[in-house]
Structure 1
Amino acid sequence: MLELINHWGIGIKEQIHQISIWEGIGVSFGVAEVLFAKKNKVWLYPCGITSIIITAYLFFHAGLYAEMFLQTYYFFMSIYGWVLWSEKKGQRLTVEYSSSLEWEKAFAIVISAWAILYILLLFFTNSDVPFFDSLVSAFAWSGMWLLAKRKIENWIFLNVSNLIAIPLLIHKGLILYSALTLFLFIIAVFGYVEWKKLIEKRTAD
């Protein structure tokens, strides 16, 4: 067991030394994105789009095809969210809990996205992690949809995705992105708490 832990530790050290400048830039914009999201600021979207473009390129070369396609989805959802978060008729969208119908839609997105992506990865790519790669993307698809609609449950769906993604990214040698994902997981917990306070404050007013 000790030998296995030492081997794993050595592998992580080697991955740290192989971190590229593009991985550093992509992660930096990813950090900025989630911090702006936590503060309920629209600047999360331009930062996110920059991170998305870099991340898609890196994931393609790492063989994480579902997560690469996820970045494409992120790109269009970021455009959609950017427009949705902008002022509309003098009003800004408020943070809210999801309705029963929105919960059903969110889970429908997870199930359908996972099934489609898993089949595509299994039969049309050389992915060695089709199940987990597709599952990470499926929960993230749903989470991004909820984020664009400013629903507090987006943090829950995104954190399920993050939790699965951390060991997957380590397995693929993307150690800096695994560290970013752990950071995103922690920030998402605080993001949920902060958005909940916004809802409670609005309800109390």
Structure 2
Amino acid sequence: MNPIFDWFFQQYQNVPTHIVILEIAGVSFGLLSAWFSKQDNILIYPTGILSTAIFVYILWFYDLLGDLVINAYYFSMSIYGWYIWTRKVDAEHYTPITKTTSKEKQISIFIFVGTLIFIYVIYEIFDKWDSWTAYVDTLTTAIFFVAMWLLARKKLENWTFLLVGNVISLPLYFYKGLIFTSFQFLLFVIISIYGYRAWKKNLNKPETSLLN
């Protein structure tokens, strides 16, 4: 067999079959959610919630506590975002894509710093500072917390935070042996770039449909 395939499947040699299956399913729903996000389509939320539920279990299995909290947080942000996205600004139009205000930038900083402190406390409580991945995990958690809040608010800048978080997460999951997930983050990087461009074209334009 090709050495690349040998190496690839060797990463899953000691991984339970159900974890591999769940990872593939979670990645699939995650990619669908990211694509719907780029399209500014409300289906981002049901597909994202399914992916989130799967990865909460997988991340608990791999002791990636920060990213586990990300997914739990994403669930609550999905409910909030679902409400914001479906809220009408008038009789025919839904909430448009906009840029962050000064107040929202301040809130973003508060979320970022607050998350760093929160995840630090979690790792301290569970004594999980046993690898450099814990420090990277803490940083990406803070980045994604801000990104998810901005996404729920339909703010253009969410793509910038997502791009940075995805770039950092790609090697992290590759190192952890979650190859399918690292490939997902590679695609997320590409989607983040195109998502920013697509949203920028529709900036400040109220929409009449959520299923574009």
Gaps (5+ residues) in structure 2? 207-212
* CA displacement, residues 116-165 of structure 1 (integer Å, 9 cap, x when unaligned): 20232134243533211111111000000000000000001112111111
Provide the residue aligned with 1:46 in structure 2: 46
Q: CA RMSD in A?
A: 2.3
Q: Which moved more, 1:81-90 or 1:122-131?
A: 122-131
Q: Distance in 2 between matches of 1:139 and 1:110?
A: 7
Separation (CA, whole Å) in 1 of partners of 2:81 and 2:7: 38
What does residue 143 of structure 1 align with? 147
Query: 2: CA distance between counterparts of 1:26 and 1:20?
Result: 10
- The 5-angstrom pairing of residues 34-183 of structure 1 reads 34-88=34-88, 90=91, 91-127=93-129, 128=131, 129-183=133-187
1:130–1:68 distance in 2 versus 1, CA, 3 Å: same
Bigger fraction of residues in helix: 1
**Cα displacement (A) at 1:63:** 1.1
Moved more, 37-46 or 157-166: 157-166
Report if the CA contact (8 A) 1:73-1:141 is conserved.
yes
The residue matched to 1:20 in structure 2 has which SS?
helix
Do 1:122 and 1:130's aligned partners in 2 also have CA atoms closer than 8 Å?
Answer: no
Identify unmatched segments of 5+ residues in structure 1.
Answer: 1-7
SS of 1:199's partner is coil
| TM-score relative to the length of structure 1 | 0.87
Contact 1:26–1:52 (Cα < 8 Å) also in 2: yes
Structure 1 125/71 Cα, relative in aligned 2: closer, same or farther at 3 Å? farther
Q: How far does residue 112 in structure 1 lie from its aligned partner after superposition?
A: 1.5
The 3 A distance-change label for structure 1 pair 9 and 146 is same
Q: Equivalent residue of 1:49, what SS?
A: helix
Tell me if the contact between 2:170 and 2:182 (Cα under 8 Å) persists in the aligned partners.
Answer: yes
Identity of aligned residues (%): 34
Amino acid at match of 1:170: F
Measure the CA separation in 2 of the matches of 1:70 and 1:95: 23
How far 1:115 sits from its partner (Å)? 2.0
> Which stretch shows the higher mean deviation, 10-19 or 158-167?
10-19
